[in-house]
Amino acid sequence: MSSVADPKAPPVNRVGLSVKEYGGLKSTLCTGCGHDVITRQITQAFYEMGVAPHKVAKMSGIGCSSKTTAYFVDRGHGFNAVHGRMPAVATGAMLANHGLVTIGVSGDGDTASIGAGQFVHMLRRNIPMIYVIENNGVYGLTKGQFSATADLGTRLKTGVVSDLPPIDLCAMAIELGCGYVARSFSGDMKQLVALLKGAIAHRGTALLDVISPCVTFNNHEGSMKSYKWAKEHEIPIQEIGFVPYFEEIHVDYDPGTTQEVELHDGSKIRLKKLREDYDATNKGGALALLLEAEQKQEFLTGLIYVEPSKKDFLSLLSLPDVPLASLTEKETRPPREALDKMMEELR
Amino acid sequence: MSSVADPKAPPVNRVGLSVKEYGGLKSTLCTGCGHDVITRQITQAFYEMGVAPHKVAKMSGIGCSSKTTAYFVDRGHGFNAVHGRMPAVATGAMLANHGLVTIGVSGDGDTASIGAGQFVHMLRRNIPMIYVIENNGVYGLTKGQFSATADLGTRLKTGVVSDLPPIDLCAMAIELGCGYVARSFSGDMKQLVALLKGAIAHRGTALLDVISPCVTFNNHEGSMKSYKWAKEHEIPIQEIGFVPYFEEIHVDYDPGTTQEVELHDGSKIRLKKLREDYDATNKGGALALLLEAEQKQEFLTGLIYVEPSKKDFLSLLSLPDVPLASLTEKETRPPREALDKMMEELR
Amino acid sequence: MASVVLEERGTQSGSRGPEVVNDFSIHVATANGSGSMSSNNILMRAIFQMGIPVSGKNLFPSNIQGLPTWFTIRASKEGFIARRRDIGVLICMNPETAQEDVKTVNPGAAVIYEESLNLRGTRDDVHFYPVPFSKLVLELVHDGKLRRLAVNMIYVGVAAWLLGIEMEEIKKALSKQFKGKEKAVEINLAAIQGGFDWAARNLVKSDPFRLERMNATAGKIIIDGNAAAAMGCAMAGVTVVAWYPITPSSSLAESLISYCQQHRIDPQTGKPTFAIVQAEDELAALGMVMGAGWAGARSMTATSGPGISLMSEFTGLGYYAEIPAVVFDIQRVGPSTGLPTRTMQGDILSTYFLSHGDAKHILLIPGSVTECYLFAQEAFDLAERFQTPVFVMSDLDLGMNNWMADPFPYPEKPFDRGKVLRSSEEIKAHIAKFGEFARYRDVDGDGIPYRTLPGFSDLPAAAYFTRGSGHTDHATYSERPQDYKDLMDRLARKFETARRAVPKPEKRTTPGARVGILHYGSSDFAVQEARHLLSRRGMPSDSLRVRALPFPAEVLEFVASHDRVYVVDQNRDGQMYDLLRLELTPQDVARLRSIRHYDGFPLDAETVVEGVEAGEKV
Amino acid sequence: MASVVLEERGTQSGSRGPEVVNDFSIHVATANGSGSMSSNNILMRAIFQMGIPVSGKNLFPSNIQGLPTWFTIRASKEGFIARRRDIGVLICMNPETAQEDVKTVNPGAAVIYEESLNLRGTRDDVHFYPVPFSKLVLELVHDGKLRRLAVNMIYVGVAAWLLGIEMEEIKKALSKQFKGKEKAVEINLAAIQGGFDWAARNLVKSDPFRLERMNATAGKIIIDGNAAAAMGCAMAGVTVVAWYPITPSSSLAESLISYCQQHRIDPQTGKPTFAIVQAEDELAALGMVMGAGWAGARSMTATSGPGISLMSEFTGLGYYAEIPAVVFDIQRVGPSTGLPTRTMQGDILSTYFLSHGDAKHILLIPGSVTECYLFAQEAFDLAERFQTPVFVMSDLDLGMNNWMADPFPYPEKPFDRGKVLRSSEEIKAHIAKFGEFARYRDVDGDGIPYRTLPGFSDLPAAAYFTRGSGHTDHATYSERPQDYKDLMDRLARKFETARRAVPKPEKRTTPGARVGILHYGSSDFAVQEARHLLSRRGMPSDSLRVRALPFPAEVLEFVASHDRVYVVDQNRDGQMYDLLRLELTPQDVARLRSIRHYDGFPLDAETVVEGVEAGEKV
Ligand SMILES: Cc1ncc(C[n+]2csc(CCOP(=O)(O)OP(=O)(O)O)c2C)c(N)n1
Ligand SMILES: Cc1ncc(C[n+]2csc(CCOP(=O)(O)OP(=O)(O)O)c2C)c(N)n1
Ligand code: SF4
Ligand code: SF4
Ligand SMILES: [Mg+2]
Ligand SMILES: [Mg+2]
């Protein structure tokens, strides 16, 4: 909770910044687009966590969803890359500067269709970044064709029905060893902001598959990614509380009904179970849950799987503390002796 | 069982061809390469199933493994495409001519590294083809770098150790709805040929992830894809029998210990359980099994998951019986009236 | 009140000059996704139905809702339908841009605008017509949900009154637009009529612009190039389509889907004679097309710049392994994502040389919607004849905008399926004639080998192995230097054969012309208008429109036979100009001048005129 | 017996002509993976250590074991180290190709072969030396497992005896080869000595070829271009490397890994000052490089043709969004998979124009291992200076073969990190000077803007948004025609600045020369030898080696100052010849002639001589 000095001044967070200073440009998305709701939650989460905005790297591909990185934290650097290949660009940025707090925003087309390959390898490497999929089951920016996450049997306005099974990006992520896997809904702001704060606290890829209705092309009767459908079908598996490491509150909770998980930075995420003793730290159980949800076509949300201890890619490389990007000629050009030695071996 | 007329003549299969007529060019792989063993089993399986060789389409990407399509059934057409993108080419070929019996041969690099994206979408579409991964954990043709299936902790001759988790292509396939998922070992010919015959009998993508040691770059002490390691660690989960639809034998079996599954063409695959009541038709169980194997670093082989009834991509398109490739101007150029109608709408 | 004021302005603006009849353009400024598209179509069609040559261009943003969009309708009694810089009539519906929009019009222009925008003060040399659209819509449309769209119908009515568009034709266009939807027709008609009546009661016309019936569009159609190309593909018997959505090519694939569903269902079986697949990306799309072409289908994909870049590797495979494929590139502004909704001819050079290594490709460049239809068919014949990827280089202006044309002719030419041995009989006959079947052997000197198809014949001789690596003429693997050289030389020979087979350029002459204009694709409309203007100004010119690469001999002859030839490119680097320099003799290169237009807007005649006049120092 | 017969042959073949000393090539034919590489290296190094200029070329198949491989060692007292067509000494170890191999040698050549191959009958104009290798190996090597490899050491001994290679130098080379591995040295030495002794006892020399000590290699090194380039990258302070294995570029990345592990570990922390990642494919590799370059790292990738094709889209992003990146293209024979283990300069043109839309790139073209080392460093400076992808166009011949060179100089020039504002102070100073920070504004006329780096400054002004779509000079999204045009014009201006900054061409002259030879990259060795031969035949010539694109002014001047200029391309389509035609005046284009070599083998001097002589109708 932020200390308010001047009563007229807006409240500020622990680094002394107001929520305004985490804002971005005015959105150019359709009024009511689910993506804009997510943008607001991202802004809020970065503000509440007191992340230094200039350390934020906002990576995205191409799509309406990918545009949103311009709409938050404009004191951070943004990179709107090419379609479906943002994970590689984010990986490169993190290699150059592991001090960045990187958030990738992508769409279901950007990730599950053209981007499936890079998505797989980002997860395998466990690149330390938050990866948000603004999932509306269609290609919004190209006017509403089905993406690879379109639900079986869902219908476009044109009447076309999706006859291929959707790719469950959460299941895929868990399968590939991702240590923070959540599904949410842009209509469920309270849950979403908690999950985002947890993602900021996690070290490694934090995946959020957020159902985010496309009001223009996929929000009608018969769509299974509409606000209406999602609202009616959402089944949260937990009530999610988040206790940041920098806040010293001790509320007791009942371990029987609530699971507490300590994250990399010391923050704690509290999962009040709404589904009889579901253990979010059990990989097998998580996969089973998703399979069951798929078979029953249930729309489950919450922190599906969490495993905070897994090593991320950068620590495997044992990089120096100074970011590689900060190294200068002094540190990176070998001395004359080194060259002489190399030459000697070639004589 | 082939009927032998002239005692001197070689035995022939039900379409009257000898096994020789399913052969190909001489292999140019290293002597002892696991891939050559697989080539022989493929030859044998096509022979025993009596597949018309000229109907066979042999698709591959780039790699030592991908070269092998030239070494069997050279009365079929082969297509050695580009690296990692063979699934798309195979998909196109099947769209043009669904009468082809298509087998794709790929490597772990070709499939799990550069090919991950197309692999995912081939599985999602359930393209009717046999997809064999000759998995040696390295890029053989480029001299032995790790691929994305290299096991955690495995070591190259150079001493480099793999510190990323391997991608389990079988788990991925099951996750993505593949209806025939098997893991085998090129050293286990009996099992492999049975699985291949089952794959020919299946309609839809039939995935075989075959551990196939690279004797030149990954067959040393410390490698977890060497003949030695595989031989010592292989744990078959079933003993596999195959009864082709064209053979009328009735052997009784004990449903308690053996699971019989009828495949698309009427053939039956018999799974004599070696692992206490493992049910290969249970998706959840299959995923759990693979997860357990991963955690224990067990090398399980057999038919891990089978679901013969799932619709393949071509039937979803309800294509005509005549292959599209056979259609002529007569069937494919709309009549004058059609054009007139289109013009009318534009006046 | 307004009207009075207006009259005065009208007088002041001193433009009681001569009437301007059937020769001006109407510019409608709205916000994207505000549903003005139908209104604009109705305006355009009504004018068209009055027998007046017309064209409609949509200048839209890469956005789904909210950003500014402009629609320009050009009426031209002389039949010029290129973009025109000067705006006669402006309809301001977008508060965001109104101030800017007014600045862009010519003195004497008519400006219809939402009253509350208060534009009157901004200029005193134009005719202002303030209209209380937001008030009117409340009276005219009772269902609140419909108002956002219906308000656009009101300006149709106002414009109809102001310019003399016949209400009968408006009604016809309206019911065509909402075919079958009675309710919609009714509501929108009320709005249009309401706008018309209000204008009649409250406005006094002071501007010179008027439309009157003539007879220059009888029997003609209006269509966009992508729909025309799709129609051509359907008529060409395409059987396998793999695509990935990308602006401005998506509508080609989507029109193709609907044409095929209507006209490509087998009457006997009721089954489709085609398969259309939305691929996961462009690499996969072309990969599928390659597989299908190899297996004997007529296969195609449609994309734009970024997709072309991703197709580079597979294109090289198609060139080297000789696999037929048709690729439509509906060009937009690059490089990279660039301006996805703006037009350019920016991929000509990189597509001609697409792929690493030595490779050159056949490019067809349609210059009208009719050619989009014809070249789509030509492309499949050439792809199968030459067993190689063929690119149809359209662009956003041609592909997504509305163009007038004569009805398309029914194809008389039978399909050319190329040198395919489709059965054991044909293979046996081939062997009898040539001794054997060798997949990559040039048996008759044109550089084109024969091919068989997988699964079509059980003769052992029928099978061959396709690969992107070195191969002999028997399609067996080879690293022999001579085998490689022979193959590459034959491919070069095949390309020379193609030079004689691709569509010849289109030449237009004016007596006494010493200078020529060489252009291609959608530039034709502006270039022909420019020639007209140049002639008027005493500078006759000939023009040659390149319709395909490699250049047929006629192209070189045209250059050789003119003092100076102005090459018109819609790109920064003069890509066609460069390609010409690679094939012309030094003497002829000396005749070339380069005119380049690259701001994302379609080319207009003035730009060409200015370029030529600058060069000729008039 | 053998020897006697041989003597007769020797006599008969009547080649008791003059001795050929230190000027011939040795051709070793073996099977791939048979472990002959070490033997060949030892032969080459021993000759090198005798002070004789030498080069070694490996002609290997795209296969790991079993297919034929040839290794050619050229000794040249004059220091010519290009490929040479005629073979003086042939060592036949591969039964598969022996018959063919013998046909390829010149009359009078010496042929060492495995006795059992029975080649004697095949020709009577060469000197045959049958050697019972398989028998000998049984006697000489007791450990059966080692015989497959050791048999190759025997021919080293035989050749040493036959050609007069000093055993002392052989021993030195041997222990260098198996540094530290005592046992291996011992066993192999036994085999070599055994071969030597057997030859001394059983052969009688009848051929004219001999090697004798001279002093032309003192202090020189032998290295392949990929190792040299890797060394350059390590010295250039590369910090992020992302690569995907592909022949012939893999060894660049792999050498870089080992050089970095040895020389790029921070002595204080013991941690690496670099990150090298094996990406999942080339799209990802360049994507990572882009991300790293954007974030401030010196980042690079290495690939070959197919990878270049896959990098097309990201390259366009780098050009348009202005992101530094270094890409090594070790060219091999394309298109498609082509001949992966053969050499060509086939990607020059497509890489120069890589990406859809208008784009041109800086290409550096090293012509020696020394330049591989130097240009690797130059590339990082240029990439950061011009904020764009820079391509280093090497090839398989240069990259994977062994070349003699003087030791590389230690870099004196400090890094050029380009216009980067690395701290709040620098940003404030910039704002003070220019009023504000605008990421894409050209503040000083060279077309190059300033940039900041993510995370380096908390000034709100420091942050900007990078995108591949249209943008203003403030890096905000824009579709305004003028913004687009301004950006593209500035990029063209920046490219002109680069024209003045890239390495100038290297000119060599001969008094009285009227003709010039213009070439690039690995062609230099053959071209300089060709000039030598041409002069001898009375035709002096100058040469200009292009070392970078865009062409510096000197290139145009060279052409203008010669009657005829022969452009030497190692590709089918004369790619550099074409690029020149795009920039020269018509008069100068008329001076150009094109010489093209494209069979996958390295260029040799004869080809150039023949080309020039044909053109000059000598
Ligand atoms: C290489 C390439 N292919 C195609 C496109 C066209 N395109 C732009 S966005 C998009 C899909 C966006 O869908 P999604 O990622 O779900 O984002 P959404 O708009 O639905 O939020 C496509 C296909 C492109 N920009 N680049
Ligand atoms: C686009 C592209 N990148 C890289 C290569 C080089 N390359 C050829 S094969 C191969 C990997 C092969 O590994 P795998 O698929 O496992 O087959 P294996 O040789 O191990 O059987 C690579 C990287 C290529 N041919 N094309
Ligand atoms: S089109 Fe859909 S996804 Fe795109 S902005 Fe509009 S509502 Fe959002
Ligand atoms: S390198 Fe390995 S994979 Fe390739 S052929 Fe040899 S053994 Fe087989
Ligand atoms: Mg979407
Ligand atoms: Mg492998």
Closest CA to D396 of D57, D20, D45, D17: D57
- Does residue B1 have a pLDDT over 60? no
Q: Do C221 and B318 touch (CB under 8 A)?
A: no
| Three-state DSSP string of B251-291 | CCCCCCCEEEEECCCCCEEEEEECCCCCCCCCHHHHHHHHH
Q: Is D176 helix (H, G, I), strand (E, B) or coil?
A: helix
* B127-B129-B130 Cα angle (round to 5): 135
Q: Do A288 and B283 touch (CB under 8 A)?
A: no
* D308 has a chain C CB within 8 A of its CB: yes
* A113 has a chain C CB within 8 A of its CB: yes
Beta strands C592-596; C402-405: pairing state: unpaired
Residue C550: DSSP 8-state: S
D335/C540 Cα distance (integer angstroms): 46
Across B318-322, average pLDDT: 93
Q: Do C313 and D321 touch (CB under 8 A)?
A: no
Where chain C has pLDDT below 50, the residues are: 1-15
* A81 has a chain D CB within 8 A of its CB: yes
Q: How many CB atoms lie within 10 A of CB C266?
A: 14
Phi and psi at residue D460, to the nearest 5°: -55, -35
Q: Which amino acid is at D535?
A: S
CA C44 to chain centre: 18
- In this prediction, residue C34 carries a pLDDT of 84
- Provide the Cα torsion B134, B136, B140, B144; round to 10°: 160
Q: In ligand 3, which atom is closest to the CA atom of A143? A: 1
Q: Do D338 and C470 touch (CB under 8 A)?
A: yes
D91/B170 Cα distance (integer angstroms): 50
Q: How many CB atoms lie within 10 A of CB D585?
A: 14
Across B143-162, average pLDDT: 93
User: Cis ω on the peptide bond leading into residue D248 (within 30° of 0)?
Assistant: yes
Structure confidence at residue A175 as a pLDDT band (50, 70, 90): very high
- In this prediction, residue B250 carries a pLDDT of 74
Tokens representing B144? 């032995």
Q: Which of B27, B28, B106, B136 to mutate to test the pocket of ligand 4 (most atoms within 8 A of CB)?
A: B136
CA A220 to chain centre: 27
CB C257 within 8 A of CB B332: no
- In this prediction, residue A1 carries a pLDDT of 40
- Does residue D16 have a pLDDT over 70? no
Q: Is C538 helix (H, G, I), strand (E, B) or coil?
A: coil
Nearest chain B residue to A147 by CA distance is B121
Closest CA to D210 of D88, D113, D121, D299: D88
Q: D500-535 burial by CB neighbour count: b if 16+ within 10 A, else e?
A: ebbbebbebeeeebebbbbbbbbbbbbbbbbbbbbe
Q: D323-352 burial by CB neighbour count: b if 16+ within 10 A, else e?
A: bbbbbbbbbbbbbbbbbbbbbbbbbbbbbb
Tell me the β-bridge partners of B105.
B60, B132
Closest CA to D33 of D72, D59, D68, D71: D68
Q: Which residues contact A294 (CB under 8 A, 6 or more apart)?
A: A168, A171
D165/D170 Cα distance (integer angstroms): 7
- Does residue D390 have a pLDDT over 90? yes
What region does C269 belong to: left with phi over 0, alpha with psi -120 to 50, or beta? Answer: alpha
Candidates B27, B35, B65, B114, partner chain D, best to mutate (most D CBs within 10 A):
B114
A104/A87 Cα distance (integer angstroms): 8
Distance from CA of D306 to the nearest CA of B (A): 9
CB A157 within 8 A of CB A138: no
Tell me the C-alpha to C-alpha distance, in Å, between residue D611 and each of A200, C482, D600: 66, 19, 18
Mutual angle of helices D133-140 and D182-202, in 10-degree steps: 130
Tokens representing B326? 């056979």
Give, for D395, the enclosing helix (H) or strand (E): strand D389-395
A68 lines ligand 3 (CB under 6 A): no
Q: Is C608 helix (H, G, I), strand (E, B) or coil?
A: helix
- Does residue D2 have a pLDDT over 60? no
Q: Do B120 and A167 touch (CB under 8 A)?
A: yes
- In this prediction, residue C144 carries a pLDDT of 86
Across A253-260, average pLDDT: 89
Across B130-155, average pLDDT: 96
B50/B58 Cα distance (integer angstroms): 16
B20-36: pLDDT as tens digits: 999 999 999 999 999 99
- In this prediction, residue A347 carries a pLDDT of 87
| Three-state DSSP string of chain A | CCCCCCCCCCCECCCCCEHHHHECCCCCCCCCCHHHHHHHHHHHHHHHHCCCHHHEEEEECCCHHHHHHHHECCCCEEEECCCCCHHHHHHHHHHHCCCCEEEEEEEHHHHHHCCHHHHHHHHHHCCCEEEEEEECCEECCCCCEECCCCCCCCECCCCCECCCCCCCHHHHHHHCCCCEEEEEECCCHHHHHHHHHHHHHCCCEEEEEEECCCCCCCCCCCCCCCHHHHHHHEEECEEEEEECCCCCCCCCCCCCCEEEEECCCCCEEEEEECCCCCCCCCHHHHHHHHHHHHHHCCEEEEEEEECCCCCCHHHHCCCCCCCHHHCCHHHHCCCHHHHHHHHHHHC
Which residues in chain C are closer than 8 Å to B100, comparing Cβ atoms?
Answer: 295, 454-455
* C63 has a chain D CB within 8 A of its CB: no
Positive or negative: CA dihedral D195, D196, D202, D208: positive
- Does residue D11 have a pLDDT over 60? no
Which residues in chain A are closer than 8 Å to D277, comparing Cβ atoms?
Answer: 91, 95
Closest CA to D174 of D57, D43, D47, D53: D43
CB A148 within 8 A of CB A113: yes
A56/A72 Cα distance (integer angstroms): 10
Give, for C132, the enclosing helix (H) or strand (E): none
Q: Do B143 and D281 touch (CB under 8 A)?
A: no
Across D236-240, average pLDDT: 98
A286-302: pLDDT as tens digits: 999 999 999 999 999 99
CA–centroid distance, residue D208 to ligand 2 (Å)? 46
* B315 has a chain D CB within 8 A of its CB: no
B41-86: pLDDT as tens digits: 999 999 999 999 999 999 999 999 999 999 999 999 999 999 999 9
CA–centroid distance, residue C328 to ligand 1 (Å)? 18
Candidates C240, C244, C439, partner chain B, best to mutate (most B CBs within 10 A):
C240
Q: Is C329 helix (H, G, I), strand (E, B) or coil?
A: strand
Structure confidence at residue D497 as a pLDDT band (50, 70, 90): very high
**Which class for C433: exposed (0-12), middle (13-18), buried (19 or more C-beta within 10 A)?**
exposed
Residue D248: DSSP 8-state: T
Candidates B83, B110, B111, B121, partner chain A, best to mutate (most A CBs within 10 A):
B121
pLDDT-wise least confident of B77-81, B260-264, D17-21, D49-53: D17-21
- In this prediction, residue D220 carries a pLDDT of 96
Across D482-505, average pLDDT: 98
CB D313 within 8 A of CB D352: no
Q: In ligand 1, which atom is closest to the CA atom of C281? A: 3
Tell me the β-bridge partners of C131.
C114
B97-137: pLDDT as tens digits: 999 999 999 999 999 999 999 999 999 999 999 999 999 99
Which residues in chain C are closer than 8 Å to A140, comparing Cβ atoms?
Answer: 64
- In this prediction, residue D149 carries a pLDDT of 86
- In this prediction, residue D6 carries a pLDDT of 32
D22-35: pLDDT as tens digits: 999 999 999 888 88
- In this prediction, residue D1 carries a pLDDT of 29
* A344 has a chain B CB within 8 A of its CB: no
CA–centroid distance, residue C281 to ligand 5 (Å)? 14
CB C152 within 8 A of CB C38: yes
Q: Is D240 helix (H, G, I), strand (E, B) or coil?
A: strand
Tokens representing C614? 């600058």
- Provide the Cα torsion C69, C73, C79, C81; round to 10°: 0
- In this prediction, residue A128 carries a pLDDT of 98
Q: Which amino acid is at D53?
A: P
- Does residue D5 have a pLDDT over 60? no
Q: How many CB atoms lie within 10 A of CB C582?
A: 18
Nearest to B95 among C275, C467, C468 (CB): C275
Number of residues in chain B: 347
User: Cis ω on the peptide bond leading into residue D267 (within 30° of 0)?
Assistant: no
- In this prediction, residue D66 carries a pLDDT of 87
Beta strands D221-224; D402-405: pairing state: antiparallel
Which residues approach ligand 4 with their CB closer than 6 A? Answer: B 29-30, 33, 35, 64, 136, 140-141, 214-217; D 64-65
Q: Is C292 helix (H, G, I), strand (E, B) or coil?
A: helix
D517-542: pLDDT as tens digits: 999 999 999 999 999 999 999 999 99
Radius of gyration of chain A (CA): 21
Mind giving me the DSSP string for B236-255? ESEEEEEE-TT--------T
Tokens representing D403? 């070349």
- In this prediction, residue C16 carries a pLDDT of 53
CA contacts within 13 A on the Cβ side of C581: 27
Which residues in chain A are closer than 8 Å to D462, comparing Cβ atoms?
Answer: 54
Q: In ligand 4, which atom is closest to the CA atom of B218? A: 2
Q: Do D250 and B114 touch (CB under 8 A)?
A: no
